[in-house]
């Protein structure tokens, strides 16, 4: 998870949203300084380093996804790495790894406090609310929005606070207050997903969790029952029933990550797109095998059978952010190019006439048995041709999902491709080496310096040698 996060973060430092956040963050200076990934000569106050690096991680929607749904690593790793560079105590790689896992574990635990958390944001559950209406008569549940807050903005900041508190070695009481303070920084509405601001949800989670831990460290107090109360963390959920953690003093502690792995993305899009892409590629292959040659003009109509989720149902995306959250766009890219990559989301790709033409032939269906859950959903793509026959393919589990994890080789490959766009070869290799052997690293602050070994520097070094 750490390797993948660093890779997508490095790639993300070349995005427009990252640049805007970086320019803004350079208003601030401090004595403590932390590295900005992929920038050889810019350093920022730790909170703002956490902010911009977190934004980089989520800037292309390329970061890891868990079940129940959130993007766990981007909220935690940037905060920890920023903190590591400021601590006089020089934490070891194992300290970092432990704090990281605390941040992930806390997020997983909190998400299990609510059934609402198990589903991806839905359009409506018409029938569920109809039943509720029948049962309760006049409800004061307003607009039918079962899912209101972007999950990383709720649990991510808590994870960041927990991880930072761990690395800072706060007392149990201080840790509680770190969580309480962080809760007051949680919660961003879903409407900003699929916009340029979405990456800030992760950036802010990282930064404000770190801030909460530091405020707790100097003695600020919040409500010690923050996780217990409906008017505490419960405000972010419609159903909320917390349960206490088992005593971790027991030797063998069962981490959620052992039972439930994360998914790594192969393309920089919302996770749901991975199913539709794999199905579209398979359907395309069927057509090609049957007819001998794939030709766009053969396509009369394309039907996508997907789970109901309004914010990834975008028939005609206009921006890269919308395109990353569009079943239709990703299916069409797969059909047009026989692949979907990082490069598929540029303005030229979005605006090409072939894309617009094909998008016009796409319709969505939301079958009853297709549940809006990353654990249960599927995608089916049916290509209807002018000649008559239809070619259908279905994807239940895409490659990279926790049921079908990426091999280590492919994970490292993804990292190398991403990181090489920003770092020199030596930097890429050193990061792989450090993360691979993190338990044995004595002082993990060196990671920050490797993340600054950019390609420009290498060119300069080469020139000097000559």
Site for other proteins in 302-331 (CB under 8 A): 303, 310-311, 315-316
Sign of CA dihedral 165, 412, 277, 396: negative
Backbone angles phi, psi at 34, to 5 degrees: -130, 155
R_g of the chain, CA atoms, integer Å:
23
Would you give the DSSP letter of residue 244? P
Residues 172-211 binding other proteins (CB under 8 A) are 180-181, 183-193, 195-197, 200-201, 204, 211
Looking at the Cβ atoms of 206 and 215, the one nearer to other proteins is: 215
| Contact status: 145 vs other proteins (CB under 8 A) | yes
3-state secondary structure of 39: coil
Q: On the CB side of 153, how many CA atoms lie within 13 Å of its CA? A: 22
Token couple for 285: 């292959």
Q: Could you say which residues in the range 226-285 bind other proteins, by CB under 8 A?
A: 226, 229, 231-236
Q: Is residue 131 at the binding interface for other proteins, with CB under 8 A as the rule?
A: no
Among 89, 90, 132, 133, contact with other proteins (rule: CB under 8 A):
133
Name the residue nearer to other proteins (CB basis): 365 or 461.
Answer: 365
Interface with other proteins, residue 223, by CB under 8 A: yes
CA 200, CA 345: separation in Å to the nearest integer? 19
- Residue 219 within binding range of other proteins, rule CB under 8 A: yes
Q: Which of residues 18 and 450 has its CB atom nearest to other proteins in the complex? A: 18
| Whole-number Å distance between alpha carbons of 393 and 290 | 14
Cβ-Cβ contacts under 8 Å for 136 (sequence gap 6 or more): none
**CA–CA dist 400, 406 (Å, integer):** 5
Dist. CA 104–CA 76, nearest whole Å: 7
Q: Residue 116 CB, nearest distance to other proteins (Å)?
A: 12
Of 59-67, 213-221, 342-350, 411-419, which part binds other proteins (CB under 8 A)? Answer: 213-221
- Closest distance to other proteins from the beta carbon of 459 (Å): 30
C-beta of residue 334 within 8 angstroms of C-beta of residue 269: no
Is residue 390 near other proteins by the rule CB under 8 A? Answer: no
- Choose, by CB under 8 A, the member of 30, 89, 338, 341 that binds other proteins: 30
Which range of residues in 68-76, 119-127, 164-172, 404-412 is near other proteins by CB under 8 A?
119-127
Q: Which of 141, 300, 404, 459 binds other proteins (CB under 8 A)?
A: 141
Residue 20 within binding range of other proteins, rule CB under 8 A: yes
47-66 binders of other proteins (CB under 8 A):
47
* Coil vs helix vs strand at 296: helix
Structure-token pair, residue 234: 């419960």
Report yes or no: 334 and 363 within 8 Å, Cβ to Cβ: no
Binding-residue total with other proteins (CB under 8 A): 83
CB of 252 to other proteins, least distance (A): 33
Q: How far is the CB of 307 from other proteins (least distance, A)?
A: 13
With CB under 8 A as the contact rule, which of the stretches 214-222, 249-257, 291-299, 406-414 interacts with other proteins?
214-222
Secondary structure (H, E, C), 181-235: HHHCCCCCEHHHCCCCCHHHHHHHHHHHHHHHHHHHHCCCCCCCCCCCCCCCHHH
Of residues 237 and 415, the one with the C-beta less far from other proteins = 237
Smallest gap from residue 145 Cβ to other proteins (A)? 4
Contact residue for other proteins among 68, 222, 307, 400 (CB under 8 A):
222
* Candidate list 14, 87, 101, 148; residue touching other proteins; CB under 8 A: 148
CA 455, 460, 464, 466 dihedral sign is positive
Residue 464 backbone dihedrals phi, psi, to 5 degrees: -65, -40
Site for other proteins in 151-170 (CB under 8 A): 153
Tokens 């007051």 identify what position? 184
By the rule CB under 8 A, 45 interacts with other proteins? yes
């Amino acid at each position: 998870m750490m390797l993948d996060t660093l890779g997508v973060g490095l790639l993300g430092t070349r995005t427009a949203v990252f640049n805007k956040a970086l320019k803004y963050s350079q208003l601030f200076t401090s004595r403590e300084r932390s590295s900005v990934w992929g920038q050889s000569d810019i350093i920022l106050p730790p909170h703002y380093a956490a902010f911009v690096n977190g934004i980089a991680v989520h800037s292309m929607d390329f970061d890891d996804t868990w079940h129940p749904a959130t993007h766990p690593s981007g909220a935690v790793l940037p905060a920890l790495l920023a903190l590591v560079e400021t601590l006089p105590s020089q934490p070891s790689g194992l300290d970092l790894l432990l704090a990281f896992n605390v941040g992930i574990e806390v997020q997983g635990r909190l998400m299990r406090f609510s059934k609402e958390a198990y589903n991806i944001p839905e359009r409506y559950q018409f029938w569920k609310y109809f039943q509720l209406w029948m049962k309760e008569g006049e409800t004061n549940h307003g607009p039918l929005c079962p899912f209101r807050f972007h999950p990383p903005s709720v649990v991510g900041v808590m994870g960041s606070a927990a991880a930072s508190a761990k690395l800072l070695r706060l007392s149990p009481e201080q840790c509680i207050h770190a969580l309480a303070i962080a809760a007051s920084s949680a919660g961003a509405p879903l409407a900003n997903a699929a916009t340029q601001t979405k990456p800030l949800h992760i950036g802010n989670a990282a930064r404000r969790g770190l801030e909460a831990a530091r405020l707790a460290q100097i003695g600020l107090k919040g409500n010690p029952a923050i996780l217990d109360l409906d008017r505490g963390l419960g405000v972010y959920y419609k159903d909320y029933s917390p349960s206490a953690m088992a005593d971790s003093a027991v030797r063998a502690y069962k981490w959620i990550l052992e039972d439930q792995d994360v998914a790594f993305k192969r393309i920089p899009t919302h996770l749901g797109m991975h199913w539709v892409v794999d199905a579209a590629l398979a359907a395309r292959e069927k057509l090609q095998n049957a007819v001998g040659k794939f030709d766009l003009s053969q396509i009369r109509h394309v039907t996508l059978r997907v789970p109901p989720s309004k914010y990834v149902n975008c028939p005609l995306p206009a921006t890269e952010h919308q395109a990353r959250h569009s079943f239709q766009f990703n299916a069409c890219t797969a059909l047009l190019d026989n692949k979907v990559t990082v490069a598929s989301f540029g303005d030229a790709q979005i605006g090409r006439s072939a894309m617009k033409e094909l998008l016009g032939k796409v319709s969505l269906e939301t079958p009853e048995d297709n549940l809006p859950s990353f654990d249960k959903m599927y995608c089916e793509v049916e290509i209807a041709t002018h000649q008559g026959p239809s070619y259908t393919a279905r994807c239940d589990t895409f490659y990279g999902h926790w049921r079908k994890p990426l091999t280590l080789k492919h994970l490292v490959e993804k990292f190398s491709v991403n990181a090489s766009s920003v770092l020199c070869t030596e930097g890429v290799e050193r990061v792989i080496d450090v993360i691979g052997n993190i338990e044995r690293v004595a002082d993990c602050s060196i990671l920050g310096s490797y993340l600054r070994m950019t390609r420009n520097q290498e060119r300069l070094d080469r020139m000097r040698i000559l």
